[in-house]
Every structure is written in structure tokens, then in C-alpha cells.
Amino acid sequence: MIELQDIPELHDPVMILAFEGWNDAGEAATSTLLHLAEAWDADPVAALDPEDYYDFQVTRPVVMGRPGQRRVDWRTTRVLLASPDELDRDVVLVLGIEPSFRWRTFCEEIVDLASDLGVRTVVSIGALLADVPHTRPIPVSATSDDERTIHRYDLEASTYEGPTGIIGVVADAARREDMASISLWAGIPHYAGHVPSPKATYAVLRALERLLDVSLPHGTLEEEARAWERGVDEAAEADEDIREYVEQLEQAQDTAQLPEASGDAIAKEFERYLRRRRDDPPAAG
């Protein structure tokens, strides 16, 4: 861990993480952290050495700057610190790229840092492509593998079995260190997952509000979400197959939300969906 500046003693800090790549459909996870970092004027305090974890032919460095002041920026995973007025606690934001190798060591570095900073709650954010219509609220699940955490935050137990991304490994490492480890996952319409989805970012932000029991800054996300939905509407209207498919998804979701649709039936449908995904992992964001 490369320390960029001294980190003060923190008050009841919570760590929130998001990573580009397999876990970031529609860029919803990383966009949420970028939004919070900007709204809270978060300060970069540390970074992981990219030499240890990244294949630079995949995660290429970027040349930037004006003539005479140009430099190479080595993209990596960075740690930012915020002390938002609306929260009576500090927030450690971990924003980066899914590593190419040495995942266990990578996660050990992050969890060791969390422990050193006094973090007791770790929230990982992900987004996946799903069979959901863009015209309905973006679904965001909040789960944990720990019974105490489930009861404390009123979460669902995680039942997923299959391939995982780096946030799944970080969440497991945090739980093993007796931290409250929580995962938020947004479902992105797979026919509209190739572009950034501010509607999904807004949905994740609202889920964080419920989790932390606090109002968070929304900025222009609501307006951007409506504009995104109008854009997808127009694209769907221009393609008869997509339009009919969206109507089928709307009907299926609306039926599932009727009073007579039992919780067990919905859970079984979601389990079937997860089984289908095992052989069809989500595309990179």
C-alpha cells in the first residue's frame, strides 16, 4: 500500500468499494463511488502499487498533461477519505480496477488497511446484466453471508453460487476478519448495459441511503436517469424485437409484484436466473 498522505484517526469509519470490470455493468458501481467522492470532496490518501496486481497490456497506463508537463498515469486502485456532514462517521472509498492476478494478496492489503483504520463495516458495490426492463425501478439487492449482519441491517442472506469477481473475494476476506460485510448488487437491463446507466447509479445511491439510514447528495442523477430512460425508450421503439421483449419483461415483473405472488416464488425465480448466469457471466463494464 502506497500512502499518499497521513491518515488521521477516524470516527466509526465505513468502507465502500467498487471496481471497474466484470463487477461493473453499466458502470453503475464505479459511477456511484465517483459521485460520492465528488459530492464529499474526498481526498486521496493511499493507492495500491499497480506493478503488483495489473497486466499493463490489459490495464494500460495513460499519458496526460500539457506539452512540457506530460506524465504517465499508472491506473490502479486508490483509497479516498471523506468526512461528510450528513454522516456522523468517516467514509473510506476504495475505487479501482479488478486486478489481473494475486487476488488474495490484493484483498489482504485492502482488509489490512480497513482493520488499521478501525473499519468495522465494509460495503461492496457491484452491477450485473439482468433480465429486467429499463422502464421499471432498477433492482438493487442487499445481502450478506453473516447472520448477525443480516439481522442488524435487515438484509437478505446471500444464496448465489458460481463465478465471482473481486468484490466477492473482498467481501469474504472482510467477513473472515469479523467485519460486517455487505454486498449491494444492481441489475442492469442487458439490452442497455453497453452504456453508462445513471438510473442504476441513482438506484444504488438510494440503496446506500437505506443501508446507512441517511440522506445522500443526489446531484443531477435524477435528471440524468430520466434522460437515460428516454434514450433507451427511443432505441427500443426503433427496434420491434426489443420493444416486444421489453413488454414481456414489464409483464413478468409486474406479475411478480402482485400480492398473490409469494416471496418463495420470487426467490425461486431469482435462483433460476442465477443458475443461468453461471454459464453466462456478466460483461465487463
- pTM, two decimals, is 0.85
pLDDT at 261: 45
Grid coordinates given for 115: 482493520
What is the C-alpha separation between 262 and 256, in angstroms, rounded?
8
pLDDT at 159: 86
Residue 248: its H or E element? helix 240-256
Please report, for the chain, the start and end positions of each structural domain, with discontinuous segments joined by +: 2-238
Whole-number Cα distances in Å, 225 to 36, 45, 68, 196:
16, 31, 40, 10
- CATH class held by domain 2-238: alpha beta
pLDDT in tens, the chain (285 residues): 777 778 888 999 999 999 999 999 999 999 999 999 999 999 999 999 999 999 999 999 999 888 888 899 889 999 999 999 888 899 999 999 999 999 999 999 999 999 999 999 999 999 999 999 998 899 999 999 989 999 998 899 988 888 899 999 999 999 999 999 999 999 999 888 778 999 999 999 999 999 998 999 999 999 999 999 999 888 888 888 888 888 888 888 877 765 544 455 555 555 655 655 565 555 554
pLDDT at 266: 53
pLDDT at 276: 56
> What SS3 string covers the chain?
CEECCCCCCCCCCEEEEEEECCCEHHHHHHHHHHHHHHHCCCEEEEECCHHHCCCCCCCCCEEECCCCCCEEECCCCEEEEECCCCCCCCEEEEEEECCCCCHHHHHHHHHHHHHHCCCCEEEEEEEEEECCCCCCCCCEEEEECCHHHHHHHCCEECCCCCCCCHHHHHHHHHHHCCCEEEEEEEEEEHHHCCCCCHHHHHHHHHHHHHHHCCCCCCCCHHHHHHHHHHHHHHHHHCCHHHHHHHHHHHHHHHHHCCCCCCHHHHHHHHHHHHHHHHCCCCCCC
Grid coordinates given for 97: 480496477
What is the C-alpha separation between 18 and 123, in angstroms, rounded?
9
Residue 104's identity, in one-letter code, is R
